[in-house]
């Protein structure tokens, strides 16, 4: 999980301490480049693929975490 938070910090270009479930993605550069980078990160760390369109609609980091949990079960 730490690897995922570090990866998200790099993608959003913020300090890793700021990467918390309550983080508002729209406050940062949550654009199409960030979405595909996150897809690759999630594939690396959890070995699951998230849907790009669903990911683009995530508002908070907790939404991404929930999507990962859902994909793991599928």
Which residue ranges make up the site for another protein (CB under 8 A)? 32-33, 35-37, 39-40, 43-44, 49, 51-53, 55-56
Least distance in Å: CB of 40 to another protein? 5
Q: Rank residues 33 and 66 by Cβ distance to another protein and give the closer one.
A: 33
Q: How far is the C-alpha of 37 from the C-alpha of 11, rounded, in Å?
A: 7
Q: Rank residues 20 and 33 by Cβ distance to another protein and give the closer one.
A: 33
What are the φ/ψ torsions at residue 43 (nearest 5 degrees)?
-65, -40
Q: How far is the C-alpha of 71 from the C-alpha of 25, rounded, in Å?
A: 20
């Amino acid at each position: 999980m730490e690897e995922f938070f570090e990866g998200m910090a790099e993608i959003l270009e913020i300090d890793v301490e700021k990467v918390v479930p309550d983080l508002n993605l729209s406050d940062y550069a949550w654009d199409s480049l960030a979405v595909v980078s996150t897809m690759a990160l999630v594939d690396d760390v959890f070995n699951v693929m998230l849907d790009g369109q669903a990911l683009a609609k995530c508002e908070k980091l907790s939404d991404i975490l929930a999507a990962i949990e859902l994909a793991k079960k599928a």
